[in-house]
Structure 1
Amino acid sequence: MNETARERIIRAGAAIMHGQGYAATGLKEILDAAGAPKGSFYHYFPSKEAFALAVIEHYEAMVREIGRPALETEGLTCRERLALFVARYRESQAEGGFRRGCPIGNLVLELAGQSEVLGKRLAVSLAGLTRFFERLVAAGQASGEIEASLDPAEAAGFLAGAWQGALMRMKAARDDGPLATFERFAARLLFGASSGVGQTAP
């Protein structure tokens, strides 16, 4: 299916915004990158804030696509699903030298305290990440790999926060060490202190 002009503007703007943030991204820069005519921005978006809402939706789709195989690939153990999720995210971040961080987390830090509309929308995005981990924990409990006494929602909230912290540290250090640390300690939480994680799922 051919990409529409609106979709092209969103994709171009999302890529720029991921690298330099919301405030530093100008409308002309977005339109030039999208190859769109001057003045077309406001044909599709009534404001830059409205554009940011569309970009957040674009980022959510990106993150869902990264995480989808970890939940949907058949024949994996829960431990392998965790490793696959981290490996796929590591691969996506390696393309930018581990300097870009989480696109949603970046916007939370920049905008959550400035725009009520964007702050609420970003909170929904973070809740989606928590649901991902909750599904992962529930799958592990169903397979008997994770203790049934562990509360999936509580564990997922902790894991989502730890993951965002790992991505922030990765961005600051410009290496993937914090992702490996997250994987190791998440495995200890979910599968026990003797769990040895570090291998990448096939």
Structure 2
Amino acid sequence: MNETARERIIRAGAAIMHGQGYAATGLKEILDAAGAPKGSFYHYFPSKEAFALAVIEHYEGMLREIGQPALATEGLTCRERLALFVARYRESQAEGGFRRGCPIGNLVLEMAGQSEVLGRRLAVSLEGLTRFFTRLVEAGQASGEIEATLDPVEAAGFLAGAWQGALMRMKAARDDGPLATFEAFAARLLFGG
């Protein structure tokens, strides 16, 4: 399927925004990277904020693509699912020298306090990460790998926060050590060691 001009603008803008942030990303830069004519931005997006909403949706698709195999791959233990999730994210971050961080987390830090609309939408996006970890914990409980007494939603909220913190530390340090630390401590929390 051919990529539409709108999709090209979103993809190009998302890549730029992931690297340098919302405020530092200019419309001309986005259009040049997308190979789109000058007036086309406002044809598809009434504002930069509306564009950012489309970019958030794009980021969610990217992140689902990274995380989905950890839940969907048959025959894995829950511990292996956690390791696969971390490994796939590590691989996606290695391409950028561990400098980019989480695209959603980056926007949260930059824009959640600046734009009510973006802040609300980003909160919804972060809930997607919590749902991912909830499903992981529930799968581990169903297989007997995780104690049934552990509240899956509470544990998932903690894991999502710890994961975002690990990604911020990874970005600052420009190495994947914080991801390994997350994986080790998440395994201790979930599996007892």
Instruction: Answer yes or no: same fold by TM over 0.5.
Output: yes
Where 2:147 maps in the other structure, the secondary structure is: coil
Residue aligning to 2:126: 126
CA deviation after TM superposition for structure 1 residue 169, in Å: 0.1
Deviations 1:19-51 (A, max 9, x none): 000000000000000000011100000000000
Matches within 5 A, 1:72-151: 72-151=72-151
Residue aligning to 2:68: 68
Where 1:36 maps in the other structure, the secondary structure is: coil
Q: Distance in 2 between matches of 1:3 and 1:16?
A: 18
Deviations 1:40-80 (A, max 9, x none): 10000000000000000000000000000000000000000
CA deviation after TM superposition for structure 1 residue 186, in Å: 0.1
Q: Distance in 2 between matches of 1:38 and 1:109?
A: 29
Identical residues among aligned pairs (%): 94
Q: Distance in 1 between matches of 2:112 and 2:68?
A: 27
Deviations 1:174-195 (A, max 9, x none): 000000000000000000xxxx
What is the TM-score of this pair, normalised by structure 1?
0.94
CA deviation after TM superposition for structure 1 residue 96, in Å: 0.1
Deviations 1:126-165 (A, max 9, x none): 0000000000000000000000000000000000000000
Q: Distance in 1 between matches of 2:47 and 2:62?
A: 23
Q: Distance in 2 between matches of 1:128 and 1:45?
A: 25
Tell me how many residue pairs correspond in the alignment.
191
Structure 2 runs not aligned, ≥5 long: none
Q: Distance in 1 between matches of 2:41 and 2:114?
A: 23
Q: Distance in 2 between matches of 1:84 and 1:184?
A: 13
Q: Distance in 2 between matches of 1:142 and 1:2?
A: 42
Residue aligning to 2:178: 178
CA RMSD of aligned residues (A): 0.2
Structure 1 runs not aligned, ≥5 long: 192-202
What is the TM-score of this pair, normalised by structure 2?
0.99
Deviations 1:76-95 (A, max 9, x none): 00000000000000000000
Q: Distance in 2 between matches of 1:17 and 1:167?
A: 17
Q: Distance in 1 between matches of 2:188 and 2:63?
A: 24
Runs of 4+ in 1 over 2 A off after TM superposition: none
Where 1:113 maps in the other structure, the secondary structure is: coil
Q: Distance in 2 between matches of 1:40 and 1:58?
A: 19
CA deviation after TM superposition for structure 1 residue 13, in Å: 0.0
Q: Distance in 2 between matches of 1:16 and 1:125?
A: 20
